[in-house]
Structures are given as C-alpha cells and as structure tokens.
Structure 1
C-alpha cells in the first residue's frame, strides 16, 4: 500500500495560523530574543476528555489495518514532514532556541521523518515459542488501545515522534500533551502528520500541569509514555496506579564519560564536545560529567577548550550559529547556580562561566570546569546545560566507582584507542546504554532505555515496538 500526501508546503506563518486558538491562549516567546513566536491554546480537561473519547472511537478501525497499511501511513507522514521541513525547523528554532544548523533544528526535523520511516520498516511477525510436534505456542502482539504521550521541551518534535511512531504502527491511537514551554512545535508537527492519517488517530492537547495529571491517571488511557524528570516520573507512577496502566519512562540522567589513558586527546575532542554540548547541553543522554585519567588530563582539557572556542553561540535563525540559548529562565538559573557552586569550591573554569548580564535571551556560554571534586553539585546534580565538569582519576576502578555512584543511569561512554579494553570497562558501568568513542548516538534500530532511577521500559527498534503492544500467547 502506498500513500502520498496532497498537502502543499506550509510557511511558518501558515503553520502558526493553523494551530492558533480561536480565542484565549497565551503568547510563546523566543528564548533567544524575547519576541513573540506565536499564540498557543490553553486547553481544558474537558477538551482532553473529548480528545480521548474520539481517539478511543477511532482506534478499532485503525487497529483493523494491517501492519503494512499502517506503515504506509507513517511513510506518508514522513513525506509530509519532509515537504514542510524548513517551516517546521524555523518554528522549532524560534520556540525552542536551537539553531537551524549543526545537530539542531534541521537535524531534529529530519530525524522525525527518518524515525517514522524506520519504525514503518520493522517486521513484527508472530514468534514460535514451542513447536515440538506435541504442542504449539505462538507469541503475538496486539494493540493496547489509546496511548498517552507527555513530552519535554528540549527535543519536542523528535521525542514526540519517538512516542507516537511505534504507538501508531502497533495499531494504537495517540493523545499527546506537549511541554508548556514548546507547544507550538508539537502542534505544528501533529498538524503536518495528520494530513497523512485518518481522522482522530492522533490528537494533541496543549495545556498546563492539570492536563498532564489528568492524562496520566485517566482510565481511557491504556499506556503512558513520558520523557522528563525523575521527580515527575515518580508522580506519574503514583497517578497511574489505580488504572494499572502500562508505562514507558525515560527519566533524568547524569551521564558519565570515562577517558582511558591511551586516548588521543585531539582525535576525540570534537566528539567529546558534542557528546556534552549537543542542543546546548539540553539533552537527557548528553555527557554531563567527564572522568579523565591523570596521564592525559591536561591534553584533554586543552583540546576541549580549543574546540569550544570554535563553536559560535547566538540566535538560532543566524545560519552561522551552532549553539543557542537555554530554553527557559528556570534552566538558565540552574546552570548558573551550579557553575557558581563550582567556582566557590575552588574549581578552575577553563572557559565560559561568565554570561553577559545585559544580553537578550537565556544565553549561557560553553563552560568547561576542571580540577573539580566529584562531590561538587555540578557533578552530582544534572545541570542540563552547557557546563561540563572534568574530573581527574588515577585508576580505572576509581573511575568506574565514581561513574556508578549516582542513582541514575541513562547513558554513559568510554573513550579509548583500544576497543576491547573499552568494552571491558563499559560492561562495569551501570547505565542503560554505554557508547564507545561516542556519546548520545541514538539509532531508531537500537533499543534505548534507562537503568536505576533513569526510568524503565524500552524505546526504538523491534523491542521498543513490542512495548506498545499487549503480548498474547496462542497455544494449541
């Protein structure tokens, strides 16, 4: 089955007009300039009830389609995103703050289309569990019903697609609640995707915390997917208990990277930098604390300072910039407070750490902090911004112990010229994913999930797709 979208390419203005509320709502401001980006609806619990009811009514017909038919719709949605890529990227840059270029807005929009296509391509055939000539048992996966999705403000479009793509492919309908900070991006993305889907298969309900709380506890939601803080994840677990709904939680991380003494500092410096500073550090699985062996500590610090000096930061619509502002004032204050804590402790700021007081926007400079104690707040608390603490270690055992000391474990990385040695160290780290000589490199084919208090459940790949289905055994 092949579908094509008849939608013309939107301009950013047309997208904003299409998603604007007919009355009420609130202005969304550009975190780089303070200018009004557009007006977002402030929807009510009653509107959420209506969206869930319509999604439930539409779900049986959607579920009756074959996997290949639903995949055709996902591919058509990817076509629609690609046809509107520049308008979506411009809106994302203005609302979230990330630049158009680098691993930022255009990259994120492109990833939305790629993730839809990858999810559409996965094969999910019944699995033979027993076939011994005496008995037969097969494992099938059936749609759950209606999936609720609550997303964050750091990668609002891409993470929304991570949630909705497998849910739709499995035959569920979806109700999305976007972050209050970035509702326009998600509303616009859904508007484009819905040009390729049947009516009421995908809904977005934009609003405040009351909408998220109502969604997580609603008896009409069969599964909830959430990406965000550990504290909010715990609240969702509590609110979902009465309905025993299934959960996939991708929660906070404070990812460690361990640099072994055999590393070539200059060869890995750029990848180290982007592992930490992608999206100006506002990424759950970004490198947030770096442990460097004493033999190469100075060389790694110097190489990172050199790379940081060549990464321009500024307004996202300027094609020259690759780093943008923090998305909101609250996050800016967290980063600033943690860096000041490091300074007060006697840690050495190698670069950055001095935001311009009268600069428009929430810009915090790329900051590298050396000679810092492992117990400092900048190390133990997730900064979620452009400030990287670099901790010196003497033995591998010491580095692994420090990396594993926190109660989170989303991702981690090991850096070495000896891959076999790096794999040995990686196996000792308590994290859902450990990368070697890279960090944060997610792939739609590779399952992804957290350890400890970084959440539970898997996303991506066939294993992630199965998490959006109800397992059923047929035995005969």
Structure 2
C-alpha cells in the first residue's frame, strides 16, 4: 500500500520522496509513504489553527457525537487497519496484537466521548458568584511511538478533540501507515482541519515542536527524546504531557504460588513482545521461591509461539526494528558475560526478520545493563532477594518511575508495599493493566502529566475563572 505522508485540511497531499516502511517479520516492504516535509508541517499547523475557532465554538455535546462517530469508523475498518498494523509493526493479528489494539482504540474512543468538563461553582451566594470553566487550548501536537501506534494516537487525539482543540499528529517513521490510513478515514467524520497528520523524516519534528501556534504537545517515547521535545517547547511555554521511558520493577513475596502467578508475570512482562513502556522489566523474587518462579515462567513460555504476525496462530511477533533488536541482543550477551544464567531463549531465531525468542535470565544483579537499562523487548532479568527492604530499595533506585507491582497472597500487605513504590501506577498481583477511566502517567524521568479519564481530559484545557 502507498499512502500520502500528509493529510491537511481534510485531504491527503501528494509529493515528497517515497519512504519504504520495513516489515520487521521479513525485511520486505510493508508499504510506501510519500514523506511529508517542512512545508507540509507548517501547512498542517496552519490548517489546525484556522479550524480551531469553529471547532471550539461547537457545544461539547456536538463534539462528543463526532468523537463517537470516530469510534464507528475505527470499528468499521478495524480489520484493514489491523492487517496494516501487523505488516509495519510486526505484532500478531491475534492475542494481544493488532486486532486487540484496534478493538482497544475503538473502545477508548467511545469511552472518551462520554467524558465531560463540567463548570465548577466555588461560591454562589449574596456576596459572590464564582465559577471555574474549562476552555480548549488551541492546536495540540501529538507525537506517537512505534510500539502501539494506533492506540497511543487515540489516547492523544480523542480527548484533545473532545475538549475543543484541533490536532496535528506525527506518527513514528517506523510505523506511519496505520496512523495515516486512520486519519484519512476519519476525515469522513471530522470537519476539515480539525485533525491533520504529517509523517516522514525526523527533521519535521523540531519544526512542529517549536511552532508558536502549537499550544500543547503530547509526546510518548524515550526520556532522551522527551527532554529534547521539552527544550524545543520551552521558548513558547507550551503545555506538555510527556509519557516517557520506564524500567518497571515487580516484587514477588515468598507467600506466592509460582504456578499460579506465572501467566500474570509472563504477560506483565511480554505484552507486545516486551515493547510496552509500562511492561514489567525487572523481576525481584524471594530466595525461597526463586527457582520455582523461574521454572514456572520457562514452562509457560514453552507454549507461546513466536512467528510472523499474519499467521493466525502466532502469539508474539518480531522486535519492531533493527536498532531495538540489536539493543536486546547486546543486553543479553552482556548479561551472559557478567554471570547471568540463561533459562531460555537468548539467540536470534532466524536470519529473516527481527525475531528474538522469549528470554528469561536468572542470577541477574544490579549493575548489569539488562537490569539497569530499559530493554524494551522480550528479555526479562530475574533478581534474587532475601531482604524485602533491599528489594524495595533496588526497585526505587533508578531515575525512572512509570509502573511497578507487588505479588503476594496477602493483598492488604501488598497494597501497603505498593504505596512504597516510586512510580505513577502500582499494581497488586498484576502488571500494566490500564483502563480508560483511570489516570496514567509517570514520575521522575518517566515524565509528567497524566492521560485517561477526566484527569487526562482536563490536561487539554485551561482554567477560566469568572467572578460576577
């Protein structure tokens, strides 16, 4: 499939050099894209700025109706979009793959349409009448990563639109096809200029982030790139929501049954092949059940097929791109050389595509790169501990704090321990479970601002206080 790299003011734009989007399952082309350039980026912001007054003037109820119709469009075209997503991202059609992502995108959109920004009354008596209103900001720039391109795009776009903003979205150059196709489809529902998209080379990013007519940036990606986005936004004091890297820790207490928690641990770590910001990336297990947990995870992994995502029985696909594939390979090799014990996996599956097996490593310790760095792939270090306070200290020692989890048969105790984790979201006997009605965001170098629910919706508005 060949797609335009720019959708501006309601229509695809032609021009630009052709980019070949690589299929990570085999290295062939997933499709081609006519790359957007600087002129397209500027035109997209101009179109969004021009469309803003009329869109903001619509009633919240009118905007909610159109956001709901966006959900209809996603549902009606879910299979086409899922297949395109699998071709460019690699995730399987089934399981927690492309169909799951498209289903989630539709459901998230529909839930978002139900949210409201009510007027708050501070005082209403003979002395004063004071009300607090929420007003849209203007043009919102959405910059999305390659791991959940459609879902994360929806997380940015739909609350922005519902709150009365217009949007320019820029997908990752690794996975632009499904996003650009979706934006094209949504033009049948939304007025021209309300939702625009540009995709192409990384050079257009700074043009957008520094643009004086962009009022807010939503960025999901690495901490390093998030820092650059923040610096670019500083001269014009743009509002920011930054959901950045994480290195989530899970702590397993000695009262757990290894067989009972193996599936939850596995999918907490391996959802989307480990390519998820809030996936479990460091697992601390008490010495008394350490071997039992390791064996249970290896046994569960044996039943999980890694293969081409277009094959209906594949459960996990390839790593999305060569750079990430090489990083995971390097971290595993370094861990081997530092004394970690390979439990399963650890070698590339084939010379065709970026397939890497589920890899569990025992006898890992702090100081190993596999423990201290976010691997963002199917390799999990398992760290033995005897002292719970030491495990909590290690879990909190890094400069990131997106998610964390405590695993125990005593949920009350686990809840108390979860409160001690330095992260935006902590789970008990699960990891990475997110919902559209529950706020999600990070602390420390994992970013700031939240998404989802009314907390996330409010971030797309400014306060306007009326004293009368």
Question: What band does the TM-score fall into relative to the shorter chain?
Answer: over 0.9
Quick one: which of 222, 226, 246 aligns to 1:233?
226
Task: Tell me the alpha carbon deviations over residues 103-142 of structure 1, each in whole angstroms, 9 at most, x when there is no partner.
Answer: 1100001111111111101122111223465333222110
Quick one: which of 373, 376, 399 aligns to 1:384?
376
Check the 8 A contact 2:3/2:34 in 1, yes or no.
Answer: no
In the TM superposition, what is the alpha-carbon distance from 1:14 to its structure 2 partner?
9.4
Q: Distance in 2 between matches of 1:255 and 1:131?
A: 46
Which residue of structure 1 lines up, in the alignment, with residue 326 of structure 2?
333
Quick one: which of 282, 297, 319 aligns to 1:289?
282
Poorly superposed stretches of 4+, deviation over 6 Å:
12-16
Check the 8 A contact 2:3/2:181 in 1, yes or no.
Answer: no
- 1:42-441 to structure 2, matched below 5 A, reads 42-131=35-124, 133-356=126-349, 358-441=350-433
Q: Distance in 2 between matches of 1:136 and 1:428?
A: 42
In the TM superposition, what is the alpha-carbon distance from 1:346 to its structure 2 partner?
1.1
Q: Distance in 2 between matches of 1:44 and 1:14?
A: 15
**TM-score of the superposition, structure 2-length normalised?**
0.96
Q: Distance in 2 between matches of 1:234 and 1:27?
A: 29
Shift in CA distance, 219/304, structure 1 to aligned 2, threshold 3 Å: same
Size of the aligned set, in residue pairs, is 463
Which residue of structure 1 lines up, in the alignment, with residue 8 of structure 2?
none
**TM-score of the superposition, structure 1-length normalised?**
0.95
Task: Tell me the alpha carbon deviations over residues 214-257 of structure 1, each in whole angstroms, 9 at most, x when there is no partner.
Answer: 11111010000000000011111111111000000000000001
Q: Distance in 2 between matches of 1:126 and 1:88?
A: 38
- After superposition, the CA RMSD in angstroms is 1.6
Shift in CA distance, 236/22, structure 1 to aligned 2, threshold 3 Å: closer
**DSSP-derived class of the 2:146 partner:** coil
Check the 8 A contact 2:253/2:285 in 1, yes or no.
Answer: yes
Task: Tell me the alpha carbon deviations over residues 133-192 of structure 1, each in whole angstroms, 9 at most, x when there is no partner.
Answer: 533322211000000011000000000000001100000000011101001111012112
Q: Distance in 2 between matches of 1:167 and 1:123?
A: 12
Check the 8 A contact 1:73/1:196 in 2, yes or no.
Answer: yes
Check the 8 A contact 1:19/1:184 in 2, yes or no.
Answer: no
**DSSP-derived class of the 1:371 partner:** strand
In the TM superposition, what is the alpha-carbon distance from 1:395 to its structure 2 partner?
1.9
